[in-house]
Each structure stands twice: as C-alpha cells, then as structure tokens.
Structure 1
Amino acid sequence: MESLSTFWLSILLFGLILASAFFSSTETSMMAINRYRLKALSVTNKNAKRTEHLLKDTDHLIGTILLGNNFVNIFASSIATILAIKLWGEDSIVLASLTLTFVILVFAETTPKTFAAKNPEKVALPASIIIQFLIQLFKPFVWVIAQISTLILRLFGIHAGQQNNNISSEELRMVVSDAKPVIASNYQKMLLNIIDLEKVKVEDIMIPRHELISVDINKPDEILKQLERIQHTRLLTYDTSSDNITGVLHMRDVVNLYAKGEFSMENVLSLVRSPYFVPEGTSLAHQLEHFQTQKRRLGLIVDEYGEVRGLIVLEDILEEIVGQFTSNQSERIDEISLQEDGSYLVDPRISVRELNTLLSVQLPSAKAKTLNGLILEELQTIPKRDVSLKIGEILVEILQISDQTIKLVKLTKLN
C-alpha cells in the first residue's frame, strides 16, 4: 500500500469516503422509508419490490450495511495515516486522524443521512441493487456476526424476538391524523370514528330500557291504543311481564297493512318479529358485523342476568361513524339549550358521550352512561334541588327534582 503514489492514495481515500456516505445514507433511508407507500410502489417498480424484500430480513440488511460501513471507515483511517506520513511525516498522524474524523462526520455521516431521511425513496430504491449484491456476497460473514451477537445478548438474558409488523389502533390513529394533506377533514374524522368502534360498547349508545315503549301481546286493545299514539318506529311486545320480551313490531309494517287494506289485529300480531339479543359489553365493531351477518337492524341489549337494558339499532352505529344524520334535530335542541350567559340547560337523561360531543367537553363516561348517572355516581346519594357540584372542568347545578329523579340541570364551563 505504501508503494502507491500520493495521487492514487488520495483517490482511494476519496472513494472510501464516498462509500461510507453510501452506506450511511442507505441505512437511514431503509429505516425511514414509508412501508405502506413502498408496498404500493412495489406493484410497478422493481426497485421498490426489491427494497420491500430486503426489509423483510432486517438482520441481514443492517448487518451487511454495518459491515460495509465499518470496513470502509477503518480502511479510510489506514489510508489517511499512510498519506499523512508520506506528506508530513509521522508527527502528523494525530492531525490526520482528527481531520479524517471531521470529514467523515460531515461528508459521510451527517450530510448523507440528513438527505436520506428527507428523501428515503430517492436513496433506498436505487441503493437496493448494490445492497442485494453485497448481502449475497457477505452472507456467510453476516450470519456469523449475527450468531455471535445473538449469543452475547443471550448471556445478558436478552432474547431476539420475532419482528412485529402489526400496527396498533393508536398507531393507526396517528397515521390517519398525519394524513391531513391527502384526506379531507370529514373523511378523516369518519376513519377515526371507525377505528374507535372497537373501544365503544353497545351500552354506550343504546336507547335505555325506560325510554322504550312496550305493550302486552295478550291485550289487543292496548296494542291498538299504542299504535294510535306511538311516536316511535318500533314497539316492543311482551308476554304478561314487561321483563319477558317476545318481539318487536315495526311501524313500517303496520303502515303497509293500512296501505293494502288488510289491517286487523291478527295480521298485526303476525308482523311481530322475534327478538334478537345482544350481550352487554359487545363492541360496536363486532355488533356492526353481527348485524350484517344476521341481516338485522336492531337488537335488545341484555346483561349477565338476561335482563333487557336497552335497544341498539344499526342507524345509531352508523351515526357513530358519519355523525348525526337521522336524528330529530328538535329533540337535540330540547335536550340542550344554550343560555345568554354561556351556560346550558340540559336534560340529564342525555348520554355522557353525546354530551361530550355536542359541548366539546370531556366528562368521564367509563361507568355512568348518562348525565343523570354521572351526577348520582359523584354524589353517592339522591340529590336535592339547588345542589351544585364540579365534575372535571364543568360546574353542574341541579335545578329541578321530581319523584326523586333529576329533571333539569345547568352546566357551566369553567374554562
């Protein structure tokens, strides 16, 4: 090596620095490249397909890159030492080392890695051709190094686990949230709502049992009276006891009988559909799938004792995704009324989740599902009129009490 002229030593040193920059930028680009975009590009781009294949075995990929990078850096250090001795004598070895360190740090590490981090596709895709060749060339050496590294890790009780490429719901939320430039805000919100379906349970959006209208199937006169005055689209039927639900009667089916001129109690009772029960604690994601497979649009939610707690309908799940689109807006206005002082008069039967959405607040909804239940949970007793309490950043004032039940509250945001 010492027999080479100063010119050729300089050319060799320059080439080694370029090689070091190549390995450094390749390593950064391979780790920074978007895997999902890479998968899409691999359909039509051979380099992208090759890069995707290399990333499936990161042990050999990183091992080859590090082997090459360390080899050229150490070799460059030797060349720089020989070159310095030839030019300035042995006293310049330390100066040569410091100069080479600065050059490698700037031109072979910081600059190429910064460029690769900002433009991973431009670096990783063409570099995959060379890296694939080097992996095949150095595969035995990389395998030996990997085995030695694994053995050393095991001595310290560290076991190299299988690579986990699964993405969690929180990570998926971050991906969707970061996709603002390419996804419209309304579609982005819908995607986030779909991801959250797994967290929301059927009892969180159900119509409570006490708000459901039911009638004894053995009393035709009562059924007829309910049909004349009911304002809902569905009527529950029970046998003798209101706890013994026997089915659901759809008002649409009854109207069709009227239209055909075939209305009679016998025909009405034949329209009663068998109940479909949903276990409490079922996530909306699973229930949406059940509705689809069972070809149903509503279900009765039952607890562990088999008692009916409420009703869940397909439209409510869809509204969790796309927002309110079928609800009667006048009913929502009656539930929440904005006052001149900025406070709100609220019907405490409203669900905590809906209240959080409408007022952009964060009242706890883990246990109590309605505002009434939340107040009782906080007070641990039946409250009296004119009682006030603070829940989070909300001041709650109880304005009306009737039959030991809260009828009206006033909410004031403290911040």
Structure 2
Amino acid sequence: MYVVWRAGNDGAKRIASRLGAHRRRGGDWVAVFFTLFAGRDILESVLPDVVGIVLCLLGSGLFSTTQTALNSLTESQARKLVEQKGSYALTMWRNTPDRVNSGLLIANTLSNLGAAALAAHGALILGGPYLTDPSRFGSLLAAAVATVAFLVLTFGEALPRTLGERRAQKVVAPMLTLTLPVQFLLSPLTFVFMGLSSALYHLIGEDEDAMEPSVTTEDLEHMLDQGSLEGSFGENGERLLRSVFEFSDTLVRELMVPRTDVVSLTIEMTFNEIIDELVNCGHSRLPVYEGSVDDVVGVFYAKDILSVIASGQADNFHLRDYMRRPYFVPEGKRVAQLLTEFQTERLHMAIVVDEFGGTSGVITLEDISEEIFGDIQDEYDVEPSQMVPIDDSHVRVDARTPIHEVEEFFGLELPDHPDYESLGGFLMSQVGGVPEPGHEVIWEGLRFRVLEADPKKVISVLIELINQSGDEPEQLVS
C-alpha cells in the first residue's frame, strides 16, 4: 500500500504545477480534461497499470476456463483424453487433481487481486490532484474499481467459465498446458495452501479423502431422461436401463409369487402324485411342506424324477430322501442382494417368509430376471395378459397385477402402503374389506369396477378413464 501511495503521490507532484494555470483559465472541468487526455506524464504513469490489468484479465480468463473445463469432464471423458492426447499436463492432473485444482484457484485469485490493486494504483495517480478533495477522489477511485470489477466478472469469470463448460474436451489440454509454468512457480504456495486445508479438515474432524461420488444415481437418471428425449437409446434400451435403476430399490415382496398362487407338494405324496403335479403345473422346482404351508421343509427338483426311474426306486420312493434344503429369505430383503446370494449359493428359488416365520410366497431367479429384461415366456407359460384393453376407454386388469405396473400403464400414482403390493390389495384398502362384484372406486380420473371377487380376494377389475367434469368416458387406450 505504501508503494501505491508513493507512486500516486509522485505522479500528482509531476502534474500539480501544470494544472494551476489551467484551473485559473478554464475552471475545474478544463483541469480534469487536461489531466485525463492531454497530460503525457499521466498517460505514461498509468500505461503500465493498464497493461498489467489486461494481463491479469487474460490470466484470470485462462485459469477460470481451465478450472471449469477440468470440473466439467466426466471420469470416462478424462480417461479418454489422457489416452488420446498423452498430454503431460493431463497426466499430472489425473495423478494429483487436488494439487492442480489448488494451483489454478490460487493463480486465479492472485490475478483478480492484481487487477484490483493495479486499478487502485491507476486511480491514485489520476486522482492525485484531488487528494485534498475526498469526495472527488473517492468517486474516481470507486469508478476505477467498479470498472475493473465488471471486466473481471465478464472477461475473467463469466465468459471463460461458459467456454470451459461448453468446450471442455477441446480446450482443456492446451489451456492446462499453458498454465504449467505458473503452477510450477506457485507450487510452494500451493503446498502451503494444501497443508492448511488438510489441517483444517483434521481440526473439524472431517476425512479429506471421504469425497462425495462425482456421479450420483440422480445424475445417471437425469442423463437417461436427456438421452431419451434426444433419442440416444432405443425403446428396449431405455426400458432396460430404467429397470436397472429401479432394481436396486426393489424388495422381495414386490416380485415374489404370493402364497395363494404357490404350487407345492406335501411330504406324504407318492411318486405318481408328484409326477401328476409336475405335469400339471410345468414347474421345475416345488416347495415341500409338512402339515402346513407355513412349515416348508424342503424343495423338490423335477429332474430328480429321472434318477428315481433310472435306479428303479419308484416303488420305494420317499419324498424326504430326495428333497433339497430350502433357502429362506425375508420379505424386506432387497432383490439385488438376493441375486448375489443366488449366484453365490448357486440357487434358483427361495422361500419368502414374514416376520412371524410364516410362508409369504416364493421367488425364483426367473422372477428377478423378468424384473430387468421383461416377461420371459417358455412353453409352459400360458397365463393370459394381466391387462387387456376392451376398447379405447376400458381395460380389464387382473387384480394380482403389481401396483407399479398399473401406475406405469395408466400414468398415475397410487398411494404406497406396506400392507399391499397389488391392484386388488389397493381396492381392499380403499373399501376396508373385500369389495363385492360391481363395487366401484374412483381415483384420479379412473373408475375401478370390481368384475370378479370371492370372499377372500378380488379377482379381476375393469378400469375406465372418466372425464374430470363428468362421467363421460375419455380415450384410455390409443
């Protein structure tokens, strides 16, 4: 500050004598005009400041562009650039990103501070004759600082950061290379800065290495939405990717075959009875229970029938001798975790139990695969479609259809509740019991009419899109 004051004071002394006559002849405005435009000494004095400000702006723009470009690169883009360009600067950044980013931040800050200091110095030279008039000198100093602040924000921050973000892959390598000399000069200051940062992290009890992931699930979902709008994925590709995102949050209870639909064997069944059951259901694995369905004691594989026949033990067959150990999982287990267990244990089926140990249903590897890839039909799958359009405004729906499939098909959001997972469960929750055939429930512009029901459950439902202002049906199926 002393140097700035001395420079401004010397400049003021050089021109003070020249201003006296002009003040007497033409007043203050003539003096100011002469000072700004006619004084060679003043122009020579402020020219280095102007050049310095321009250089500081260029440096600030370079550092801002480089820093923004580096932060805009994804992990895959960064690896690809290093492999393609083979740049020393990029390799150094990949190996020591904190050091490079800290160096750029320090260089950018010093550039901005330098521009501000030079602006103040120039204002002090130009305003030297007015040091005795605080209001005039203050106005001149404020104008100089405001002008430089505008230039820094525009050409040192806003425009360079926009360029760095939009052209990151094109500009990052050459610009990072240009910053290397400055980074080497500032390396001692960078190490001090990083040391202080590390000490501060330890002081507040934070782990400096515990960084948040650069790409979150929300980021991936946003990219998927953007790619879908731009047509980057095919229809099947988009559906598959969305299934993968939803898969991590899916629970076993959402995919399991419910207890009421499970085909099972009793421990007392004979060889011929088991063959008949396997032929009728077409399944390759069936749970075996003793006394009650809640007491599952094993799993029988259809392929074991061949070994019984080959060994001639059909007459002496006892199911207990051939069944496998059952694998039990809770309803609330995540399907992704169960899939890992299936792979580790080399299993294809698990028995789902509730919190009291009762049997809730079964889940198979095929159920999990269908959640990702869609329905997988084989020669034994002859189940009718769960949602059958009747006309443009009516759809017949199996009451066992999962809630999320109904929501996706009709584009609505039904209330979540831990007590049900199917359309039938939703209707029973709304009514407070098992609705009789003909009972209607209206929800968000849809009329749900129960077509079939028994004393225990709803079997089928007719869904109709109604006009919000009346009961006239609108088009539901295009």
1:378-415 deviation digits (Å, cap 9, x = unpaired):
22223233221123443211223323532322112347
- Look up the equivalent residue of 1:308 and give its one-letter code: T
Q: Which moved more, 1:199-208 or 1:15-24?
A: 15-24
Q: Which moved more, 1:173-182 or 1:14-23?
A: 173-182
**1:412: which partner in 2?**
464
State the SS of the aligned residue for 2:286: strand
1: CA distance, partners of 2:295 / 2:227? 50
Using a 3 Å threshold, how does the CA distance of structure 1 residues 274 and 104 change in structure 2: closer, same or farther?
closer
1:125 is displaced (CA, Å) by 2.9
1:148-205 deviation digits (Å, cap 9, x = unpaired):
8999999xx9887746232443333334444556654533432332232221001101
1:272-321 deviation digits (Å, cap 9, x = unpaired):
22211112211111011000000011111111222111110111111111
Native 8 Å contact 2:342 2:348 kept in 1: yes
Native 8 Å contact 1:356 1:363 kept in 2: yes
**2:73: which partner in 1?**
33
**1:165: which partner in 2?**
212
1:22-75 deviation digits (Å, cap 9, x = unpaired):
233233323333344213433453333223345335872464134323233224
Native 8 Å contact 1:388 1:397 kept in 2: yes
Native 8 Å contact 1:54 1:61 kept in 2: no
State the SS of the aligned residue for 2:333: coil
**1:70: which partner in 2?**
112
Structure 1 residue ranges without an equivalent (≥5) = none
- Look up the equivalent residue of 1:287 and give its one-letter code: L
Using a 3 Å threshold, how does the CA distance of structure 1 residues 93 and 198 change in structure 2: closer, same or farther?
closer
What are the residue-to-residue correspondences of 1:3-402 with 2, within 5 Å?
Answer: 11-43=51-83, 45-46=86-87, 47-57=89-99, 60-61=102-103, 63-78=105-120, 80-81=122-123, 99-129=147-177, 131=179, 133-139=181-187, 141=189, 162=208, 164-166=211-213, 167-179=215-227, 183-220=233-270, 222-254=273-305, 264=314, 266=316, 269=319, 270-326=321-377, 331-333=383-385, 335-367=386-418, 368-402=420-454
- Look up the equivalent residue of 1:202 and give its one-letter code: V
- Look up the equivalent residue of 1:19 and give its one-letter code: G
Native 8 Å contact 2:403 2:423 kept in 1: yes
Q: Which moved more, 1:289-298 or 1:377-386?
A: 377-386
1:327-380 deviation digits (Å, cap 9, x = unpaired):
6775242x3221125211222122223333444543345421121111111222
RMSD over aligned CA atoms reads 3.9
TM-score if structure 1 supplies the norm length? 0.81
- Look up the equivalent residue of 1:48 and give its one-letter code: L
2: CA distance, partners of 1:263 / 1:346? 47
**2:476: which partner in 1?**
none
Native 8 Å contact 1:20 1:72 kept in 2: no
**2:131: which partner in 1?**
none
Q: Which moved more, 1:265-274 or 1:63-72?
A: 265-274
Using a 3 Å threshold, how does the CA distance of structure 1 residues 70 and 16 change in structure 2: closer, same or farther?
closer
Name the count of aligned residue pairs: 409
- Look up the equivalent residue of 2:246 and give its one-letter code: D
2: CA distance, partners of 1:274 / 1:159? 49
2: CA distance, partners of 1:102 / 1:195? 45
State the SS of the aligned residue for 1:244: strand
2: CA distance, partners of 1:277 / 1:13? 73
State the SS of the aligned residue for 2:265: strand
- Look up the equivalent residue of 1:305 and give its one-letter code: F
1:227 is displaced (CA, Å) by 3.7
Native 8 Å contact 2:399 2:460 kept in 1: yes
1: CA distance, partners of 2:201 / 2:349? 55
2: CA distance, partners of 1:95 / 1:357? 61
Q: Which moved more, 1:207-216 or 1:169-178?
A: 169-178
2: CA distance, partners of 1:283 / 1:145? 45
- Look up the equivalent residue of 2:429 and give its one-letter code: E
2: CA distance, partners of 1:393 / 1:385? 21
Using a 3 Å threshold, how does the CA distance of structure 1 residues 357 and 30 change in structure 2: closer, same or farther?
same
Native 8 Å contact 1:197 1:285 kept in 2: yes
Percent of residue pairs bearing the same amino acid type: 22
State the SS of the aligned residue for 1:331: coil
Using a 3 Å threshold, how does the CA distance of structure 1 residues 144 and 227 change in structure 2: closer, same or farther?
closer
2: CA distance, partners of 1:203 / 1:34? 37
Larger Rg, first or second structure (1 or 2): 2
